[in-house]
Amino acid sequence: MENIYQEYLAPQGTVVKPYYWLTPNQGCSRCPYHIQTDEGARISYAEFYRTFGFPYGPILVPKQHLLFYELKTFSGTPVQKGRATNCIVFDLHPESILFETGGYLDSLVCHYENIGYLTLYSNYSPCNESGHCCISKMYDFLGRYPSIRLDIYFSQLYHTTHEFPTAPWNREALRSLASLWPRVTLNPLSGGFWQALLYSFVKSVPAASLYQPIMPARALADRYNVQQIQTITGIAPYFVDVSSSTSYPVQEPYKIVPHHNMDINFPQQYSQGVNSGLIPVIALGSPVPFLTMFAPSYGQQQQSYSKPKNIVRHLKMPEELKEERKRILPKETAVQTVQITKQFVNEDKRDRKNK
């Protein structure tokens, strides 16, 4: 297999030019090194907020796509972690770059023959639009390596609503990808998985983000993502950490929130838990156990790969939908209707006079 990438040693890992023909340019600050590995893959907390919408809630950054990945062996031993970014000059998505045939990920899997788990953390769900074909390239990758399991986490759905002309393609592609369960899972980022992502890929994280619970706006968006991806694919996300009993004010999940200056100081009201004696969410080591400890089973020695013809959709029954609707919608108020008729009163008085 001919390699189309070029890799160079960097102080904290490596930098990778995903296509040999990429050159530095003024239009894209990331070019030509759109892949960085190991500790060099970490980003600032301010950039993490701008792209992933954590901790305050989702923000719209349509031109900035950011993806983190982790490779592990069948036993759970880490092999490599890294970061892939999009190119705004050549309109390349990070998934398209990473899963390119003959690209950097192909080379890694061929070099480390015992890779069994690939985990992606992205600010957008993968698409299958013309010119990107991210999900199609994922399919091809899974076909070349039938023993690898793929878990995808995202903070926001990409072009799946009706105002986008490409939404039907993306929804159908997500359904097709989700049908490979349990080998492939699609999961909105939520709960403790946010802390795991901060721990592995973000530098200079404020202590308050490690101690405080998920903020209401962010938690509401996570629950919205869970409902939407289940509606699109017909399969409930397997790795989800949201509380169904928590109620939040009814609001638009993807309303743009005010831009906070993350580079100066973390707001004081969210840093009080640092010295309050609370048990930290993050402890020594990885804050979330290796996911395959409780992952749905998938055979390691699967020799053939084909798209399943018969798919069982895990849909909610009508009674379950009624119960969920009761939790989300405001409770109804009982109204007592009283009818007063003057005729009955007059007849009652007439009867008394006759007596």
Known catalytic residues are: 95
Tally: H helices and E strands in the chain: 10, 10
Distance CA 65, CA 313 (A): 30
Strand order in the sheet with 78-85: 6-10, 13-17, 35-37, 78-85, 66-73, 115-122, 149-154, 184-188
Distance CA 305, CA 86 (A): 29
Strands 66-73 and 78-85: antiparallel
Dihedral sign computed on CA atoms, order 156, 161, 167, 172:
positive
| Structure-token match 């721990």, residue found | 199
DSSP single-letter state for residue 112: S
Contact 89, 31 (CB under 8 A): yes
CA dihedral 60, 34, 90, 106 (to 10 degrees): -110
Contact 138, 173 (CB under 8 A): no
Contact 17, 104 (CB under 8 A): no
Distance CA 50, CA 255 (A): 14
